[in-house]
Amino acid sequence: MMMKNFPSSPLNNNQTQNHIRDRNNKKYSSWLSAVPLRFSLRGYGFCMATLFLFCFGSLVYQLNGGPPTILLDIRQYLDSMVAWPGRSLVSQNGQPQQVKKKHPPHCATSGESTFQDDHGPPVARVLPFPSQVVYNRVGKCGSRTVLILLRLLSEKHQFNLVSSEIHNRTRLTKHEQVDLIKNISNMPQPFLYTRHVHFLNFTRFRVEEPVYINIIRDPINRFLSNYFFRRFGDWRGEQNHLIRTPGMKDDERYLDINVCILENYPECSNPRMFYIIPYFCGQHPQCREPGVWALERAKQNVLENYLLVGILEELEDVLLLLERLLPHFFSGVLNIYKSPDYKKAGNMTGTVRKHTPTLEALQVLYHRMRYEYDFYGFVRDQFHLAKKKIGLKSASRPSAYSHDFLRDLVLRTPEPMAEEDDEEEEEEEEEEAQDTTLEDAASWLVNP
């Protein structure tokens, strides 16, 4: 029996094609079902590696002030892949299109790339903290000695030292305060600004407060140094005092300091004797009046606004603390201070013709400076406390006197001879006693 071959019908063809499509779909679906699993693990690892590189790059960026070189190279490579100079791309109409490299305004167009094109912008300089320091130096408290050190340190550590040449404008009007604060705030950082000026309250004018430092000394020593410096200058030149005080007459220039003190000349009495406290009290008019209000405000400012206030009698310890607290400015300062070249220059700042007043005059000075001595004792205690907190061990020279010494001067001062017919033996005894007492007073005074 023969079988008859029937031509294939459309129905059979459709069934065959559907069968083939279903079989292929199953095969592809089984293959794709395994692919996502493999790619998901690889993709997860790629994402984690990318995240790690991003975090590491961000950390390096923040620490160095700019992106690392590897990130710049990756970016340059990706940019070149997107639009390589001379690379032919196909436009929408099917015609080849030449891609031209776009140059920023600062780039060279002559075919040679600049350093900034290859490496990006220069890395910003990381500023030290603090980067703004103000030294409102007190007159005749070793400021010229410290200035010599600062000039050498500024060259070594590359910070901006701005030393004002204005010496006779310590009290400013409100307008002058605003101008000075604005000028200080706009200085290139890091900087150290120094000037003879009373404390400026930056926060009062809503400006960021800089770090204050200062140095003071025993009030009587400071007064004596200033008294003779105005008249006779220092060892830098014999005629410097004539330039500084050209209008001073010879009667005033050669006025005996004991006469000035005991006869209550304006230069040797208040308010001119009230000198150190206003530098820390501030620009308030009441800061110029000797009293408890100015004293307490000066103490408060020392505690709240000054990083360090040292005393000249322990200058080496002051420099050690500054080196520890402000290393970006004062690192290596002691090596410079102890060098022979600096010693030679520093010795030229000593005041000439300075001598000790009588014991009676010293006691009068101490009584007029009782607020100054209260503040000096407070600063000295705070300075010693700062040394103790920082663990500084140094060979500080102990004080050669106490304030009780001045209170007892009158009891130790011999009475002057009242009659001319006294015996020579009594005169010799009195002179020996007076010489011994003057030696004690002279040993108390500190040069420069």
Helices marked H in 210-309: 219-232, 240-244, 250-253, 257-262, 276-281, 292-305
Give the Cα separation of 3 and 72 in Å (integer).
80
> Is the Cα dihedral 438, 441, 443, 445 positive or negative?
negative
Half-sphere exposure of residue 256: CA atoms within 13 angstroms, side-chain side: 7
In the numeric block, the tokens 């130096």 are attached to 137
Active site residue 284: no
DSSP helix/strand/coil, 316? helix
Peptide bond into 271 cis (omega under 30): yes
> Strands across the sheet with 211-216, in order?
160-163, 191-194, 132-135, 211-216, 306-311
In this structure, the chain runs to a length of 448
141 in Cβ contact with 196 (< 8 Å)? no
> In a 10 Å sphere around its CB, with 0-12 CB exposed, 13-18 middle and 19+ buried, how is residue 22 labelled?
exposed
> In a 10 Å sphere around its CB, with 0-12 CB exposed, 13-18 middle and 19+ buried, how is residue 369 labelled?
buried
Return the structure tokens found at 207. 């400006």
Strands (E), 306-433: 306-311
Give the Cα separation of 109 and 94 in Å (integer).
30
Helices marked H in 126-205: 143-157, 174-185
* Of 103, 157, 167, 196, catalytic: 196
Active site (catalytic) residues: 196
